[in-house]
Structures are given as C-alpha cells and as structure tokens.
A and B are shown apart, each in its own frame.
Chain A
Amino acid sequence: MLGSIVNGIILGSIITLGGLGISYILLIQNYFNFTGGTFFTLGAYLAFAFLSIIPMGSFPVVSFGPGLILALILSMIVLAIIMTAVDKFLYQPLRKRNSPFMFFYLTAFGMLFVLRSLIYLIWGPQLKNYISGVRKTYHLAGGINISPDEIFVVLATLIIVGIVYYFQYYTKLGKAMLATANDSRLAEISGIKNKHVHTTVTIIAGVLTATAGVFYGLAIQLRPIMGFTLLMAMFFAVVCGGDGAILGTLGAGLIIGITQEFGSEILQVIFDSTGIPIEMSGYKQVLAFLLLIVILTTKPHGIFQGTFLER
C-alpha cells in the first residue's frame, strides 16, 4: 500500500517538472499551454533520437549511463530552441496585436496537431524505451519498492526545482521575470526588456519540459500520446499550486500524484470492504480532479496563492 505513495511521488515529480514548464508560460503570457504535453513528448523523443547516435555507456547502480544525460542535455537545448522559435514566430505577433486569449489557445491546439503528427511521422506509433529490460529494485520495509532509476528521477527533480527556485528569487533575471509577470508595462518602464523576459521564460520552460519528458521516458516508457495523457495532471498542478509558485507546483504535483495512486487505492479498499461496486481504476483522474475543485472552491488562486503575486 505504501508503495503507492512512492509511485505517486515519482509521478508527482514528473508532473511537477512538466507543470512548471506550463506554469512559466502561464505566468508571463497568461494562457494555459495546451501544447505543453506535446512538447513534453517531443523532448522525450528527441533524447531517444540522440541516444541512437550517442553510446549509452553505464553508471554504477542505475540502469542508464552518461549517454542518457548527454542526450537529455541535447534534448533540452533543442527543445528550448524549438519552443523559442515557436514563441517568436507564433505567439509574439499575437501578443503584439493584443489578440484575445482564445487565439493563444487555438494556436496551441494547432501546434499540438502539428507536433503530434510530426512525432507519428518520424518515430511511428510504436512503444519505445531508452533502456530495455526490467530494472533492479530495492525492496524496503512496508512494501515499498523503488528502483535506482526512480530514486534518480525524484532526486533530480528536487535539485532542478531548487535551481529554478534560486534562479527565480535570487538572480536579477529571475526578479525581472517576476516584475514582468506582475505588471509588464511597469516593468518595461523600469528598464526590463519584455522581449528578453519572454525568451528567458520560454527557454526555462523548454528545459523543464524536456527534462520532464526524458524522466517520464526513463521511469516509464515513450509513446506518442504520453504527454497528452499527462497534460490534465500538469494543468491541475499548475492550477492547484498557484501560477508561477514554484514550490506550490511541486507541492501540488506531489499531492496530485499521491492522490491518484495512494488515494484511489485506499478508497478501493474501503469500497471493497463495504461492498460498494465501484472500480476506482477508472476514477483515478476524477479523484485528482475533485481535489482540484475543492481546492479552487476554497482558494480560487491555488493553495500557494499570493506567494509573490498580488492578483
């Protein structure tokens, strides 16, 4: 049973990274990036493509080697470039024109179609893996099973969130981003170039999204719709955490992951023992969603609202 919590934490880590990518876009550009999930998939597949030319090598303990790290870095760079290009070419004109929100969403939908078909065309619909075979697993007390790869994913997520947190609150550029998010007009007057901020945000979003995708591929597998199926969870994390709140997104991501895995299992046990004929497996997502509604009803701007934004 406790094993579900571990699964929830792993899922939550990936949701957090992907969610932060979306959160940054939302913070500065004020729209929910529906393409986020597909960029996530693209990041994972890019690393897969790089792995076909980079020898994997091997690390002790974990099942992957330095090749994957290199592929991850390359994937980050390429995805950041792609996302910046998309932002420059598609969203910037929309921002300039002060287009209605809907245009951003529709453009994101259009991008989703384009990227998804490209992924299908290039890599095909089949399931892919970075590393084949089942992994070594540690069996801990209380029925917790965890593989070194998964520990790596969770630890790396925490480190990355830490770095992003530092960047956000302790560097000049990070503070400029916050200023722009608060009031872009005012920030511009005080000498912060909106353009640079947008580019920085997009690059950070690209790096985070690529990492999330690669981690998903590492912990689970690669498939063309993997990002889209996780998109809702990422949105939930963004919404629950409060937009732009880094620790909030981390907290919400973990809460959602654990609710889906652990909460549904607990409920299932309760239903089974009381004889209520409900299969929770279908309702995992609904459970996370009900949580979202409850949180939003009590706190319309997320759990960690107002950490730095006054809205």
Chain B
Amino acid sequence: MKKLSTILELVNVNKHFGGIHAVQDANIEIEKGTITGLIGPNGAGKTTIFNLITGFYPLSSGEIFFKGEKLQPGNAPHQMLRKNIYRSFQITRDLAKITVLENLLIAPVNQLGENIFNNWFNKSGVRKEEDGYKEKAMEILGFLDMEDKADEYAGNLPGGERKLLELGRMMMVEPELVLLDEPGAGVPPGMQKKVNDRVRELNEEKNITFLVVEHDMAVIMNLCDPILVLVNGTKLTEGNAEEIQNDERVIKAYLGE
C-alpha cells in the first residue's frame, strides 16, 4: 500500500435527522491516488456521507477538509466540480432525454454558452468553444468504446453503458476526487468488468482518486484498496480486501448481533 498525502479528511462528522443519528463521529481519511471502498450494512450512512461531503445536507457538527482546505461546512453542491470533486449517484442519473454526446458536453464548467447573452451576441465564440469540447467528447467516447452511440438518447442505453457514460462525463472535467455511488448497481456482469477496468485505468493513468460506495461485495473486493467499513454511522475498521473479509467484527455487523 503506497502512502500518499491525504486528499479528503472527515473530522468528527455528525449528522442527525430528527432523532436518528445517521452519521456519528465519523473520522475518515482518504489517501490520494487510491480507490477507497466504503461498505456497510443498510442504513450505515454511506450515501449520507456522500451527501455531506458534497453539501447536499448541512453537517450537524464536524468539519470536512479537501486537500487541507475546509470544504464543509460552507460549500454548496454546485461548487464541488469547481473544486475538482465529482460525484455519481446510487441510481444512475443520466439525462435520459438528451443525447449521449450532450451528456458529455454538459459537464465542463464555465462554458461561454452557459451565459444566456453569449448565445445571442457572441454566437461564434460559443460555437468555437463547443467544437473544442465536441472533439474531446468524441475522444472520450472512443476510450469508452461508445463512439457509435454518440447520437443516441442516453435513456436508451443499457445499464452498464450508463455507468460508462457517467465515467465519461467525469472524464470531461478530469477531477481529482471522484465519489462513486454503487458503480455495480443495475450493471450486467459482463459489463461490470468493463466499468471496473475503466475505473482502474483512470486511476492509474490520470491519477484520479476514487471513493466507492458499493453493495456488491465482489465488486468492492475486486476494485478497492483500502476498504472502510461503516456501521451505524461510525467507522468500524479499515483495511484491504483480505483483512476485511476475515475481520470478525465486520461479519458480525453484517449478520447482525
């Protein structure tokens, strides 16, 4: 296990909903360049942690740091990508009614054409920029083996390709940290390998850090190192696949006491 600098750090993070403690004193550190897995039984607060990191929920208490800089509390979800954090969702969220190509084109931040007036008064500038992004998008689609699907509606893609599309969208912005929520959900087994390969490739080639939440143990064991185990909103243990599988506490937590 190569030890690099910490990229994301959760310090004493708490989150209550009414009387329920969804996250309790979570202290988590994510090392740069890893593919960290986050597992735990239902209701362990995995997705809540994602929502806390990205600012969808306000913290009840505690702090979150990204690259040593305070991320939460304070930042809104739309600022994440500007800080080079990308997040995917549990249920694949693709924009079903626009095309695959456009699903990629929407990702870059601060496009000229995002300002309404540029579309009336600076059309040529918008077009020029758009052409540049199109080229990049086609390259990415090539990398994902989805070139022929560029003009297909995203809603018509099979589950696995939707995951790939999500990766593609992420590649458009080349973030430093990616929060992947259940990359295995709804993906046929054949496709899963492809998704995993792409994730690993991106991790190695572009040095992107991944934080992965997953239900499917096979996926996690195969993909992630290290793996964090979360129970009742608290970090239970941390280790590589083998260690986790043999940890009694983990087995207990999953089977119930």
Contacts and interface: CB of A to CB of B under 8 A. Distances in A.
Q: Which size class do B's interface residues fall under?
A: under 10
A310 B20 CA distance: 10
Contacts of A306: 18
B17 interface: yes
A259 to B, nearest CB: 28
Give the secondary structure class of A's interface. Answer: loop
A128 B17 CA distance: 50
Interface residues of A, number: 2
B118 to A, nearest CB: 31
A214 B255 CA distance: 55
Interface string B13-42: 000011010000000000000000000000
Interface in A254-311: 306, 310
B41 to A, nearest CB: 15
A68 to B, nearest CB: 43
A144 to B, nearest CB: 39
Nearest to B18: A306
A310 B19 CA distance: 11
Nearest to B20: A310
Contacts of A310: 17-18, 20
A298 to B, nearest CB: 16
A310 B21 CA distance: 13
Contacts of B18: 306, 310
A143 B224 CA distance: 76
A204 B20 CA distance: 30
A136 to B, nearest CB: 48
A224 B160 CA distance: 55
A189 B176 CA distance: 38
B12 to A, nearest CB: 23
Interface string A171-211: 00000000000000000000000000000000000000000
Contacts of B20: 310
B97 to A, nearest CB: 10
A291 B17 CA distance: 27
Interface in B85-111: none
Nearest to A306: B18
B43 to A, nearest CB: 11
A178 to B, nearest CB: 14
A311 to B, nearest CB: 10
A50 to B, nearest CB: 45
A292 B216 CA distance: 45
Contacts of B17: 310
Interface string B142-163: 0000000000000000000000
A189 to B, nearest CB: 11
A310 B48 CA distance: 13
A306 B20 CA distance: 12
Nearest to B17: A310
A306 B16 CA distance: 13
Interface in A106-125: none
Nearest to A309: B18
Interface string A155-175: 000000000000000000000
A310 B18 CA distance: 8
A243 to B, nearest CB: 16
A228 B18 CA distance: 37
A310 B51 CA distance: 15
Nearest to B42: A186
B58 to A, nearest CB: 13
Q: Which 4 A-B residue pairings sit nearest by Cβ, starting from the closest?
A: A310-B17, A306-B18, A310-B18, A310-B20
4 contacts: A306-B18, A310-B17, A310-B18, A310-B20
Interface of B: 17-18, 20
Interface of A: 306, 310
